[in-house]
C-alpha cells in the first residue's frame, strides 16, 4: 500500500479513535438532543453561519467515516434550523460525506477487490454503467441496507461519481425531510421508532419501486426482443 493511502488511513483512524475516546456517541442520543435543544438554538441565533458550518462539517465527517449518529444529526438539523433548511443542510452534508466515503473506498481498496473478483464484478459494473441511477435511487429510498454500506459497496464498483452524487442527493431527500420535520417537533418524539412508521417506510418502498420501473421495462423488452430475434436499438 502506498504512503498516501497509509496517511489517509492513519488520519481516519485517529478521528475515529478520538470520536470514541471522548464518548461522543453518548451525546448523539435523542435524550441528549432534547436536553440541549434550547441551548443549541440560542447559539444558532447568535452565531448562525458558524453553527451551520460546524454542523455541516461534523455531519460530513460522520458520514464519510461511517460513524454512528446520522439519525440524531438529521433530527438536530430540524430541531435547530427548521424542517426546510434543516433538510437542505442535512441532505447536503450527507451527500458530500457519502461521496467522500465512496472515493476513499475506491482509492484505497478498489484495486485489491478488482484484482481478486474482477471477472465476477464485470456484470455488476455493466449494469451500473447503464442503470446506475435507477439502482441507486432504489437503494436510497428503500431502507434495505444501511446507508454506510451502500457508500462503501459503491466504491468497489465502476459507478460514475456524478451518478452516485446526484442519485444520493435525490434519493435521500424524502427520508431527510421526514427526520428533519420530526426534529422540528422534537418534543412529540419519544423514540426513533416513532418516526419511521410502517406507513412512511411503505411510501419509501413504493417510490423505490417506481425508480426501478424503467429498468424492469427495458429488461422485459430485451427478453422479448431476444425471443423474437429483434435487435433492440
pLDDT digits (tens, 9 = 90+) for 121-134: 777 778 787 888 99
Domain that holds residue 187: 3-228
Which pLDDT tens digit goes with each residue over 53-94? 999 999 999 999 999 999 999 999 999 999 999 999 999 999
Q: What is the pLDDT of residue 75?
A: 96
Q: What is the pLDDT of residue 99?
A: 97
Q: How far apart are alpha carbons 75 and 27 in whole angstroms?
A: 13
DSSP code string of 71-113:
HHHHHHHHHHH-HHHHHHHHHHHHHHHHHHHHHHHHHHTHHHH
Residue 233 within a domain: no
Residue 207 within a domain: yes
Q: What is the pLDDT of residue 113?
A: 72
Q: Which of 68-77, 98-107, 151-160 has the lowest mean pLDDT?
A: 151-160
Q: What is the pLDDT of residue 211?
A: 85
Residue 51 within a domain: yes
Residue 112 within a domain: yes
Residue 90 within a domain: yes
Q: What is the pLDDT of residue 232?
A: 53
Q: What is the pLDDT of residue 69?
A: 94
Q: Which residue blocks in 142-197 are alpha helix, DSSP H?
A: 147-154, 161-171, 173-184
C-alpha cell read off for 148: 454506510
Q: What is the pLDDT of residue 147?
A: 92
Residue 126 within a domain: yes
Q: Which of 72-76, 202-206, 208-212 has maximum average pLDDT?
A: 72-76
Instruction: Please check the confidence at residue 10 and state whether its pLDDT lies above 90.
Output: yes
Which residue's entry shows cell 464519510?
A: 64
Residue 217 within a domain: yes
C-alpha cell read off for 155: 466504491
The contacts of residue 1 (CB under 8 Å, 6+ apart) are 108
Q: Is the pTM of this model over 0.95?
A: no
Residue 157 within a domain: yes
Q: What is the pLDDT of residue 221?
A: 80
Half-sphere exposure of 84 (CA within 13 A, CB side): 0
Domains: count for the chain:
1
31 exposed, middle or buried (CB, 10 Å; 0-12, 13-18, 19+)?
Answer: exposed
Amino acid at each position: 500500500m502506498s504512503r498516501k493511502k497509509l496517511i489517509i488511513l492513519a488520519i481516519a483512524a485517529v478521528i475515529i479513535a478520538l470520536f470514541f475516546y471522548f464518548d461522543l456517541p453518548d451525546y448523539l442520543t435523542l435524550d441528549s438532543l432534547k436536553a440541549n435543544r434550547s441551548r443549541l438554538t440560542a447559539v444558532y441565533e447568535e452565531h448562525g453561519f458558524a453553527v451551520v458550518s460546524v454542523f455541516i462539517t461534523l455531519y460530513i465527517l460522520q458520514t464519510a467515516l461511517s460513524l454512528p449518529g446520522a439519525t440524531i444529526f438529521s433530527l438536530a438539523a430540524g430541531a435547530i434550523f427548521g424542517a426546510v433548511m434543516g433538510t437542505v443542510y442535512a441532505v447536503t452534508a450527507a451527500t458530500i460525506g457519502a461521496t467522500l466515503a465512496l472515493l476513499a473506498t475506491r482509492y484505497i481498496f478498489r484495486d485489491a477487490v478488482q484484482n481478486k473478483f474482477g471477472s465476477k464484478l464485470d456484470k455488476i459494473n455493466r449494469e451500473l454503467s447503464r442503470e446506475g441511477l435507477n439502482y441507486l435511487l432504489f437503494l436510497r429510498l428503500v431502507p434495505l441496507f444501511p446507508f454506510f454500506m451502500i457508500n462503501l459497496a459503491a466504491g468497489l464498483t465502476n459507478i460514475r461519481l456524478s451518478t452516485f452524487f446526484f442519485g444520493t442527493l435525490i434519493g435521500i431527500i424524502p427520508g431527510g425531510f421526514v427526520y428533519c420535520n420530526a426534529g422540528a417537533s422534537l418534543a412529540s418524539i419519544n423514540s426513533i421508532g416513532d418516526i419511521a412508521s410502517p406507513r412512511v417506510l411503505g411510501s419509501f418502498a413504493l417510490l423505490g419501486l417506481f425508480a426501478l420501473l424503467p429498468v424492469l421495462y427495458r429488461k422485459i423488452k430485451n427478453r422479448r426482443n431476444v425471443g423474437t430475434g429483434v435487435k433492440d436499438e
